[in-house]
Structure 1
Amino acid sequence: MKTNLRDRFVLFLSLTGITIIAVTGLLTYRIARNSVTDRTFSQLKTIRNARKFQLEQYFRDRSAEVLQLGQSQELTDFFSDLNQKNEQLKEGDTIAISSPGSYVFSTVFDRPGHHQLILFSKNNNGFIISRSNSKQISAVYFSGENKYSFASTAKTSIAENNVRIRDYDTTTKLPLMYVFAPARQGAVITGAVGISISADALNSILLEQNDQNGLGYSGEVYVIGSDFLMRSQSRFLEQSVMKTKVQTVPSSDVFANSEGQLIDNDYRGIPVLSSYSRLQIPGLDWAILAEIDKREALMPLENLRNTLLLVSVGIVFVLVFVSFWLSRFFSRPLLRLRNAVSEIGKGRLGITVDHQSNDEIGELAEAFNDMSLKLAEQRSEIAKREFQLETERRQRIQSFIDGQEKERQRLSRELHDGIGQIFVAARFQLESLGQNEIIQKLAPYAASKNLVDQGITELKKISNGLAPAELTEFGLASALRSLCNQIGNVPGIKVNQNISDLKTDPEEMVATHLYRIAQEALINSIKHSGASETDVSLIEQNNSLILVICDNGCGFDRKEAELKHGQGLNNMRERARLIGAGLKTESKTGCGTKIEITYQIQHSHGEQD
């Protein structure tokens, strides 16, 4: 089958472009996938380490608590009083406690997950103390004849003179752990004191019920033992403690290698990203696992994949269109040459072929025209064309350089006023959150604050940005309302709005500059003046737009502000000057600040200052 040059050119260019697009898309998707996976594992590791520290600290606190109870004179006296009655008591007899408000009982029973206080004597008898829902405390007597699972732990604690922790007891209706320490009267060990703990204590640390904590709607953190049974409540299965067996690759690997991370199925058979580590709790061979569904973790890649497909399809259509256009562009001169040769063959000498390119086809046309035209005339025409092309080239280069310089200036202003202010607002949000002592202790809080500070530092060096989308989509008034709402969300800041809908929105460039001036003024009000209330108004009056920002802050001295605020005030003046608007600043130390911008819709005037 015969194919012409144009068809082969289109086919080659299209296949080359499609191959490049496919390879680029696959590499982009792979890199993005690795990046999202690494970020998710890092987040899971951070959450896992935080929960691990909380759990280990919890058992350290409980060990210290039972040691303190064992040395408590109040508890020793109480135990002695009960022992005086044990000769008249039988197994299972109950004694009502007359002092339920005791500090000892409050210490034990007021903590979540604490169910019993156990007093164990060297004679293998003692009392199990519990508190009912009505806050009544009672003691149940037990003797050595009755076999309790915690007895061996209490005896070991007495023999070793140390704290002992026992894993869950599954013989009871509610699985309980036990923490025992020696009970002392002076230097003499009289027995052991212990507390029983249910899974509620662990669940209060591990269970997360919202998707704003870094685990999304499918993530969870749970604890397993060396028998692979769950020691904490599953987020997805009811009554999973000591009932659900987690026989997975991560659960096996954690007891073999202490810690790690991988992608595999969880105990539900669902693919997850899992980060795991052994817990360092004396007497307990446990491990902690932080997991999130693979589908949720990689969900951002679905949007990327769809975008890549849409963009690739669009590029292919454009590429095919360009290929057809280029094929016609290159084949048309050849067709003209063929027709001109046919005309010369018929005896029509002196015919010439027009050409606009300087490539091989142009050279062929030029050689053809040399047969019909004089060499001098052809040279003159070529020189003239070359001069015109060179002049146009120089003009384009000069225009490009001028445009490049203007673009750099614009980007410098916009990035400072846009993304830079968002980073500043983020820093204030973090500082507001940092007032919470719990958040201050979290490692992600300090890291996030450092990253924001680094971003602000780098943005000050670059100092440029882009116009907000609200201006193009909804207009200046809507964009200012959105800005005020955003600033008003900062704790301790109130923004009053008096923003009227405009009959006709100003040009995009004018609206952008007015928006940036308002944004700079509001951020300066929060950052420098310490204002608690700011008024923002936008009105259209007598063919003019009047934008006023007024706060109740500390105000500023004009000369000091020039040095202190960097280029913030200068940027506002420059923006007003670019659109021909008047800008007035009124401020006095201790009396707040007022900034007024007046823009003439039909005629603009210079800055008023």
Structure 2
Amino acid sequence: MFVIIGLGSVLITSTFSYYYTKKAILNRAFEQLTSVREMKKLRIVNFFSDRINELNHIANSSATLVFFSFRKQQNANIQHLNDLSDMLKNSPYFKNLLLGDFTGCVIVNEDTAMSLNDKDAIESFIPLVTLKEIENKVKELQQPFIQDFKVDKGGKHGDKLYGVAPVFADNDKEVIGMALLDIEADAINEIMLVSDNRSGLGESGESYLVGDDFYMRSSSRFKDNSFLNVKVMTDATVKAMDKISATELITDYRGKKVLSSFDLIQTFGLNWVILAEIDFKEVMSDIVKARNKIYFICLLVFLVILPVSYLFAGKITFPILRLNFAVNQVSEGSYDQKLNCKGNDEIASLTQSFNTMIDNLKQKSLEIKEREERLQHFYDATKDAIILHYNGNITLLNHAAVKITGYKEEDLMRMNVDNFLVLKSEPPTLKSFSRSNIYETILVRKDQTLVDVEVQENAVEYCGKFYDALVIRDISKRKKAEKALLEEREKRLTSLIDGQEMERQRISRELHDSLGQSLIAIQLHIESALNADADKANEILHKTKTLFDSTIDEIRRISNNLMPAVLYEFGIQTALSNLCKRIEESAKIEVRFYTNVTGEYNDGKIKTYIYRIAQEALNNCVKHAKASLVKVYLLERTGHINFIVKDNGCGFDLDKNLQGKGNGLINMKERAQLINARFEMKSAEGQGTEINILIPFNNYEQQNQNSYR
């Protein structure tokens, strides 16, 4: 064990050292890559800056200005441009110079200067599309810039960069032409390519450029013909194009895991990514070899020392294992364990103590068993708490008392009954020996919560004294049920009374607003007829008759709302259909009624309750649902009638809002229960509401006798 712990410590230490060293090496490699990247970036920026300075010098030279002056007079003489040819001979980066005034151009190389008068001649130097794009850019920017490599007509990139500088007139405000120099790609590669291992990039490292089209702008160290042909769409190039400069462990364009340091170069109109990378394996090779050597040495030491350690440890661990086995036997209830004690060392002393402990445990277990037999019946007799006390001082109690009060047994034995229970009797006497007192009271638990309990109190004789015996029963669940039942009854009564009052108010409004106004109008017409001539009186009486007809219709409507005659004359199907039509006409929402019931149910109570539930449900759809479509179903199914009201309205959260939905839902639920029906409601915010009521047939014979007929 000690060998394993020691070797484990070595391995853990070695592992931590490996990871910390790995982190340090990676940080150092990233710093080296960043240093190479910044050096290369500086050289690239300086290179382009120098070329632009040379272009500005050419654009502002006297030879160039004289040339454009002659071009403007259409008397151009290109002989004096030979001085520019001499300058090109001394430049390692330029071969050709183009001077153009947007109507024509002159090419100057290291040998001579010549005019280009046709498209083919110009195309041999620079693609016409590129030239046109450069001309537009010169007019727009009016400052020097570098024209990036462009794709030619064949879909391939050109192999030249172009440095461009505008040529201004004497007033320095008007652009009269441009000076354009071609820059060879070899000049870029001379800066970026790694020639030997002393560059800081090792055997597998390289630095390269990527354009904003993600194609290489410099040659790869490892891939032939990579310039402008290999697309580098890696995490580094994407982040760099987003102007993120960082170092990361990525997968490069070859699919290899590399350390990468990347940044964005923005100079003279170019947007290039510069990357310095080296293979992860090369960076980690030395530390991986060191780690493997440490693991190998640890394994070798382990294999050599383990057998030797096992032999020495056996002499120490065998007595301990024997003692451990005996302890396990004792823990399982076997007290017949005796161990031989030899020697005078610590193991022998521990063995002797174990044998003494076994003897004591045997004696104690016998005492405990005897006590358990005496108290077992007392504990198992009831699940109610039983407490025996004298003047409030507890003498005996069972485990149920501990459970119901929340105190430990030893704490209860030191407490007075009055500390947690409100008693309602006097201390026991000889006269009250046979009395029994049952009452309900409050018990205060250890956590100060209150529990409703029922206490049965009797006086008993114990050890020559009269004690009070308390049997305490938790009735909190019963109390909650009684309270819930009382609240439900109050809610039903309130709902009934509120419903009656609302119906009375509705009837009062209808009698006052419609019927009362109609009768007043009839009265006024009759009074005016009494004072009118015969013709006028006949006209007034004719209008009065019309008012009587509308008043009669209004009385029928009010009567129909109270108890629709159509429900009993034509049946529940017709009554529901008429109700849906009225709601559709008055509320301006679409109400569809579906039924497969062809007969009539004889139970008038069921018909009335279904109709009232339909009224309440449709009223809720109009007032609260904001629905555009309501579907009502009355369907006959096997063993029951199914009544459904479903809308496409706003819906609501049943768990949050069910209690605040008023008496309408309670009334529907109550009516469903009164006809022994099952009431279900489904709703969710934005998904409408559905009320589903299942009304069972009374019995099988009633179904066979076609109660629906």
Normalised by the shorter chain, which TM-score bucket? 0.3 to 0.5
TM-score scaled by length of structure 2: 0.40
TM-score scaled by length of structure 1: 0.46
Greater relative contact order: 1 or 2 (C-alpha under 8 angstroms, separation 6 or more)? 1
Larger Rg: 2
